[in-house]
Chain A
Amino acid sequence: GNSVTQMEGPVTLSEEAFLTINCTYTATGYPSLFWYVQYPGEGLQLLLKATKADDKGSNKGFEATYRKETTSFHLEKGSVQVSDSAVYFCALSRKNRDDKIIFGKGTRLHILP
């Protein structure tokens, strides 16, 4: 079946450090891939997405590239800020199917000043 696996947290980094949060997926066909972010006390927000192989999604300095050969969609940011502290969810959706989104377990990120 379809599933998403992401690295367990919490991840603690100092401000301006380089961030990588690993995400791999299992899916039939060619899903769309997403990173959602949940800031403390708020609902999920779409951070970025990619809909086909080799696409790169980017937003707010974050990037992730859809790698079909490794079934991965790792999230990266070159220089994190304290305001990036949140929980990050990798997710997939099967295009033209039932619109369901399958989430990974989430990775909590703490950025220290």
Chain B
Amino acid sequence: GAVVSQHPSWVICKSGTSVKIECRSLDFQATTMFWYRQFPKQSLMLMATSNEGSKATYEQGVEKDKFLINHASLTLSTLTVTSAHPEDSSFYICSAPAAGQRSVGRETQYFGPGTRLLVL
């Protein structure tokens, strides 16, 4: 089946530094990808929609200058947490719709394994 990968799987950084997280669709193309944030024992919170070739669409309350998203190609989206602070520590997950896969259905999404960020 379709696979979405994320890199790195975990990262520890100092406060004030920037961290880039990659999301790749390995065997299908994704014009749209989604970035979520998951707090411990809580649900996924949609942060933004990454659009290939255009600007990302951010959910209400998400700082676009803080969380920079670039959808460089049909298989890669990146999330950069700029000037990270301890409150940015979280589990970040990306997903991509199964667009074009008729047997699965467009509304089905494939999720990456997540990236755990710890800001000291």
Tally of chain A residues near chain B (CB < 8 A): 23
Q: How far apart are A100's CB and chain B's nearest CB, in angstroms? A: 6
Is A32 among interface residues, defined by CB-CB distance under 8 A?
yes
A69→B32 CA distance, assembly (Å):
33
* A46: nearest chain-B partner, CB-CB: B108
Task: Give the secondary structure class of B's interface.
Answer: strand
Contact surface of B with A, Cβ cutoff 8 Å: 4, 6, 32, 34, 41-44, 46, 49, 93, 95, 97, 99, 105-114
Q: How far apart are B36's CB and chain A's nearest CB, in angstroms? A: 8
Q: List 21 A-B contacts (CB under 8 A).
A: A32-B105, A32-B107, A34-B108, A42-B113, A43-B6, A43-B93, A43-B112, A44-B95, A46-B108, A46-B110, A51-B105, A93-B109, A95-B107, A99-B106, A99-B107, A100-B34, A100-B46, A101-B95, A103-B43, A103-B44, A108-B41
